[in-house]
């Protein structure tokens, strides 16, 4: 009995430590991409093997497919945040916050749909560097990193919503969505809310891909910036369009209330 009590106490202490780490990581989660820079730079410098093996055409198709996969992750984020009420699924960094418990829409098939969507975007960007080692390492790092954040969030939600949270959590997987049991969202979709929440994400994804493509051409292939623009107009257009969307929406947000909706 004493031994069992000791094991239970140790497990509780471990859980508390993981939750503590999760709360700290939650606060700094936006800076995770910077942690991959050293490995990403190393993989970037060695990525010319792909062109040598498959040619420029296949390499360009691969990069566009990676960007398309990242946009799928963004599309999933839009499909999530466009349905949620105010005070939930936000970008708060200082502390955990939840004005309501989301259990419908994507939250009816997975408890952390935004982190799943982020994982898709993250994998798409890592694939751009064409390194299996980088993909495996950073995929594992992402899961370890966000496992703690998810534990911290769930501890907070359980403390706030109690039995209602536990009932939902017992029947809903944490990270990988199930393909049944979908419950229609409680609120109608709001394009304004989705646009307000995700316009920066669209720009960050597009700018990151465009910058990597520009560096690939100018640093690895020895082209000038002008040669890159004329030789790969798709990526220059991606950057210009995303920047225009960002500036337009940011201006609307700062100067008008058009994107604000009551309860969103």
Each residue's pLDDT, cut to its tens digit, for the chain (264 residues) gives 545 454 565 556 656 666 676 676 667 666 766 777 788 888 888 888 898 899 989 999 999 999 999 999 999 999 999 999 887 876 655 556 677 899 999 999 999 999 999 999 999 999 999 999 899 988 988 888 888 888 888 988 998 999 999 999 999 999 999 988 899 998 999 999 999 999 999 999 999 999 999 999 999 888 999 999 999 999 999 999 999 999 999 999 999 999 888 877
Q: Which whole-number Å values give the CA distances from 97 to 140, 152, 194, in the listed order?
A: 27, 11, 19
Domain ranges of the chain: 2-35+91-188
Q: Within 13 Å, how many C-alpha atoms sit on residue 236's CB side? A: 10
**Mind spelling out the 3-state secondary structure of 64-79?**
HHHHHHHHHHHHHHHH
Residues composing the chain: 264
Q: What's the DSSP call for residue 30?
A: G
Question: pTM for the complete prediction?
Answer: 0.87
Residue 129 in contact with residue 200, Cβ under 8 Å?
Answer: no
Q: What is the largest CA-CA distance in the chain?
A: 74
């Amino acid at each position: 009995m004493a031994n069992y009590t000791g094991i239970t106490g140790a497990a509780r202490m471990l859980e508390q430590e993981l939750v503590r780490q999760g709360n700290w990581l939650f606060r700094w989660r936006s800076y995770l991409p910077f942690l991959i820079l050293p490995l990403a730079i190393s993989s970037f410098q060695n990525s010319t093997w792909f062109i040598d093996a498959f040619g420029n055409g296949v390499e360009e198709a691969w990069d566009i497919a990676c960007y398309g996969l990242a946009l799928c992750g963004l599309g999933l984020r839009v499909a999530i945040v466009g349905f949620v009420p105010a005070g939930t699924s936000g970008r708060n960094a200082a502390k955990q916050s939840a004005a309501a418990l989301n259990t419908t829409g994507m939250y009816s098939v997975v408890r952390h749909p935004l982190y799943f969507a982020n994982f898709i975007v993250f994998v798409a960007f890592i694939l751009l560097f064409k390194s299996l080692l980088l993909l495996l390492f950073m995929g594992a790092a992402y899961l370890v990193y966000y496992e703690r954040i998810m534990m911290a969030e769930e501890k907070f939600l359980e403390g706030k919503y109690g039995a209602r949270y536990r009932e939902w959590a017992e029947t809903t997987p944490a990270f990988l969505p199930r393909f049944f049991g979908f419950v229609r969202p409680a609120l109608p979709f709001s394009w304004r809310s989705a646009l307000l929440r995700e316009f920066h994400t669209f720009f960050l994804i597009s700018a990151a891909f465009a910058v990597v493509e520009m560096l690939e051409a100018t640093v690895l292939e020895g082209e000038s910036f002008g040669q890159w623009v004329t030789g790969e107009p798709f990526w220059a257009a991606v950057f210009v369009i995303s920047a225009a969307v960002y500036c337009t929406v940011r201006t609307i947000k700062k100067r008008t209330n058009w994107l604000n909706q009551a309860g969103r």
